[in-house]
Every structure is written in C-alpha cells, then in structure tokens.
Structure 1
Amino acid sequence: MNFERLKEKNPDIPFYPVTDAAFQTYGRIITSYPLEEVLAVMEKKDIPESGNKYTASDPDLMDTEFASLMTSHFYAGIPSQVGYCNGTTDRLNALEYHKCSELDIAVTDLVLLLSDVRLIRSNQLSSDQVTAFYVPRGTAVELYATTLHFAPCRVSPEGFKSIIVLTAGTNEPLASLPEAVTLEDRLIWMKNKWLIAHPDSIPASKGAYAGIQGENLQIQI
C-alpha cells in the first residue's frame, strides 16, 4: 500500500513519508552502507503467522560485510549486533529507547510509530504525541537515542520484515530488574532497553511500566 493511501486510511494520526523534514527530529536516512547481502539473507527469514519474531543477533546477518561495517564504522569500534524483527503487528503497544542509536532497514514497506523521550513526564506519555512514518523497502534509517520506537507496523496483510542493528547485548534479558533509584529506573526492561507500555498491551500484561495514555494506536490498512 502506498503512502497516500495509508495516510487517507489513518486520518487521526500524524503521518509522513520518512523523507519528510518531520523525520529529522527522530533520525536520518542512511545511504552509505551496502545492503544487498543482508537483504538477500532476509529473503530466507519467514514472517510469523501472528505476532512478531525478534532475533537480536542473527548468525546469518552477522556473517556479512555489513555487520563488520556496523562495528567498525557505524558504532566506531563498539561491538554491534545485527538481527531482525518480522511480524504482523499493526498497533503501537509500547515505546522503548536505548542509550545508543538504532539502525533499522525496511526489508518490506513498513510504518514506524515514533515519539521523543524528552516528552515523557513522570514516566507518562500521551499516544497523541506519536507520529507515524512510512518507510519504503530498501530504506535504512538511523533512529537517534532520544527517539521512542517499538516494533514496526505492517502495511499489507502479509506483514513486514526489518533488520535491526544495535550495540551488542542490547535487548538481552536481565538476570533481574534493578531496584529503582531514579524515576527512569522504573522503565528498565532489558539490557540497554527502557520501555513504556500501553495498558492494553502484552508488555504491560508481563509487568512493563504502563505509562502510555490514550488510544493504543492502530495502523489501518
């Protein structure tokens, strides 16, 4: 589904193509790295029938020139991980942030629902402060550390595929959640992952901090 049709179907959500200047608050398009090898690897990665499948570090993707460049160049020597998120999600559900940039590559057309960590007040955020961006397949985008994001949303019934690049260890389980010293500590959910969930979401049902107020936004297709 093209951008104009998506925007028409979702009139109540601020909606832009990722090429719009509105995206500059959240990240930038990256064109410097070769994507052919990792896109070919993703042809063999299936979309689950329902829900999402997230693999933080995939051996096939890690065994590429692209993965080496992520460590040597994108993170300037900090070890990186290259994984993927494939799925059928069409709702906001939650927002997370990391204390590093994230590189997302749209293997299929998809939508990213984004906000800004600086809008969080006392661990609360309204879903009307979330903006949707249409990302066409083959596009790589850097999401800044201040950008709230979560799993992509599909733009077709078949679902979506995306490559996710982060510093190594991000999104791995913690042995236990630390005792909160600051208010922000209540959002710690995994390694290098702070999460704020919508009350009507699976993460909230598993104990994630339910601080998103308003509608659990849904991308209509």
Structure 2
Amino acid sequence: MESHNIYEKKFQNYGRILSEYDFTELVNTLRNHTPLPESGFVYLSSCKELEALTVFPELQNRAFGGLPMQLGYCNGYNNTLNCLEYHTCSELCVMAEDVVLLLGQRSDIDRTDYTYDTGKAEAFFVPAGTGIELYATTLHYAPCNAHAGQGYHVANGLLLGTNGQCPALDKKGEDQLLAGCNKWLLAHPDSPEAGEGAFIGLKGQNIRIYQEG
C-alpha cells in the first residue's frame, strides 16, 4: 500500500509532530537499555528507566497538562496490521528507529456492528528520532518495521493506568471492544489476538507492509 510521510498535511488528521522536545536521551535509553526480542514485539506500559529521564516530567506537564502519565515501550518486529485500538486520551510515541504506522479514524467504525474496513487505513513513515502525538480519535496499533529485518524501539506515553486490567463489564455494544483499562481493540479474524478471544472487528485485508523472506 502507499506510504505517506508524517510531514504531509494528511497526517494532521491523525496527530502532530512533537518538535518542542529534545528526545536524544530517551532515544539513546530505548536503544541501549530496553530489550529487543528475536521475533514479535514486547510491550511494557510503564518503564522506570524511561520515567526517570528529564523529558518525562516535561511530557507529563506539557503534553498531558499535569495529569499523571506512564512512559513505556513497544519493541520488536512487525509487518502486519492485525488489530487497531483506541484510547480516550492521546498517545505519545517516540521512535528510536524508522517505523511505519497504520492509522485510521475512530469515526469510521460502523457503530451498527462495531466493524472497521481496513481499506480506509493509511500508512505513515515515521523517521528515527521523531516524536509524535496520536490523537484520541486515531485508530492505531503496534508499529511496523520500515525496513525488513530491522527491529524497532518505540516509547509510548499514555495517561496512567491505560492498558491495565480490564474492568468487569457485561460485554454489550462498544463494551465488547474493551480489552484493558482505557483500551478498545478491534482484531482482524486472521490475527493472533482474535485467536486469544479479542473482539473481531476488522474486515477486509489484514494489511502487510512487506512480504517476509
């Protein structure tokens, strides 16, 4: 599929570039002090090493207006959409390597059956060292490698508690999508997450950025 650049005006529908921060220390810590699995990806919602950096209180006070936040990471290898999720807050992402993000609009979810047509998703190239804010209206999931065989380290900043334990609810309507605290997720039927019981809400192609092998 066609890949756009976050410097294109089109990206403003999904988020903005965090040009007002110095992410040098954060990027170096991601690369040197957080794990990169041999395959797949690993997510940690709150990483003490990242939260000890000087940029953390700056992000908390400026990007979230002083609300308590968490700073963790998503590191690994991925080339397939598999799922899309959303939160009721923005998500901050800082890339230590080049990645591609597959993004959609929450407003494009069909609320009659809570499905989303993956043909509406768009791909955006994000260069290493860049920080972005993804708006709460943006559907997103794990980054994809921009280059085959090259893993990624990405820092993720969210309101404190996001992606924690899912509240106990009688799963009806949109509540069927709730997969964790402040985490609503739509899985593709071909995804591993669907096999683990996630709500199947993506229809159409399970987008793949590149073919392996």
Match of 2:127 in 1: 136
Q: CA RMSD in A?
A: 1.2
How far apart in 1 are the matches of 2:18 and 2:59? 12
> Could you tell me how far 1:14 is from its partner in structure 2?
3.5
How far apart in 1 are the matches of 2:89 and 2:2? 26
> Could you tell me how far 1:214 is from its partner in structure 2?
1.0
Match of 1:169 in 2: 161
Give percent identity, aligned residues only.
39
> Could you tell me how far 1:180 is from its partner in structure 2?
2.9
CA contact (8 A) 1:177 1:189 kept: no
Q: SS at 2:114's partner residue?
A: coil
Match of 2:170 in 1: 179
Instruction: Please say which of residues 153-162 and 77-86 is displaced more in the overlay.
Output: 153-162
TM-score, reference length from structure 1: 0.90
Is 1:197 the counterpart of 2:183 in the alignment? no
Q: SS at 1:204's partner residue?
A: helix
How far apart in 2 are the matches of 1:177 and 1:148? 23
CA contact (8 A) 1:170 1:190 kept: yes
- Aligned residue pair count: 207
Q: SS at 1:43's partner residue?
A: helix
Match of 1:36 in 2: 24
CA contact (8 A) 2:24 2:129 kept: no
Match of 2:37 in 1: 48
Unaligned stretches of 5+ in structure 2? Answer: none
CA contact (8 A) 2:118 2:202 kept: yes
Which residue identity lines up with residue 30 of structure 1 in the other structure? L
> Could you tell me how far 1:64 is from its partner in structure 2?
1.1
Q: SS at 2:66's partner residue?
A: coil
Match of 1:10 in 2: none
Unaligned stretches of 5+ in structure 1? Answer: 1-12
Which residue identity lines up with residue 168 of structure 1 in the other structure? L
CA contact (8 A) 1:177 1:188 kept: no
Q: How does 1:39-118 map to 2 (within 5 A)?
A: 39-44=27-32, 45-118=34-107
Instruction: Please say which of residues 154-163 and 49-58 is displaced more in the overlay.
Output: 154-163
> Following superposition, which runs of at least 4 residues in structure 1 exceed 4 angstroms of deviation?
none
Which residue identity lines up with residue 6 of structure 2 in the other structure? V
How far apart in 1 are the matches of 2:155 and 2:22? 13
Match of 1:9 in 2: none
Which residue identity lines up with residue 210 of structure 2 in the other structure? Q
Residue by residue over 1:195-216, the C-alpha shift from the partner in whole angstroms, topping out at 9 and shown as x without a partner, is: 0000111111111110100111
Q: SS at 1:85's partner residue?
A: strand
Which residue identity lines up with residue 209 of structure 2 in the other structure? I
